[in-house]
Structure 1
């Protein structure tokens, strides 16, 4: 989108934090929120890379998918399915949050499209 709005805020006397909170963050909020949601979904489901890279150190490098595997390999089926159910519930919550964020983003885009276009400043000004 460019940095014209940030430069205008600084010229008008805004501090760095004010520029971030009132100009930059509102412009990137939907992309940032969507990225956090997708990162959360990826982190919850990651198995292979964590298993290989972490070294599988019990009690130190554990995630829910790794914990499910450990429980299942130790024949603790009830605990493994309980942890897997928790993971599935968190995945559903993530999908609901993602859907709500997408819907609100669409509403914001429609509202912005309905605004009248800005008039350019006269050439002499």
Structure 2
């Protein structure tokens, strides 16, 4: 059974690159354009992992993580924060919100697959 991953980013090109990388490794990928879209998608079915950007319209990544973590079925779902920003305060905020890990954009495809494999397998 393939692992379901939700990719949340307002940039269609970033979503497409992440999705192609993950699909090529056998993951089932769903895309969302912002945090609100992502909340709608998680309500429709469970995911094995989530990758989210920070700066998005309607709902940013930190708010999405906080809202998602309120769900009873969300506690064990790993969330990787994927951002162009690399400041310590934002990393701390992401961890406090419930992020499991952090990757900086632009990302290395091999590293993304390594991180995902460690979190949920393929």
TM-score relative to the length of structure 2: 0.19
| RCO comparison, higher one (Cα < 8 Å, 6+) | 2
TM-score relative to the length of structure 1: 0.19
Which has the larger Rg?
A: 1
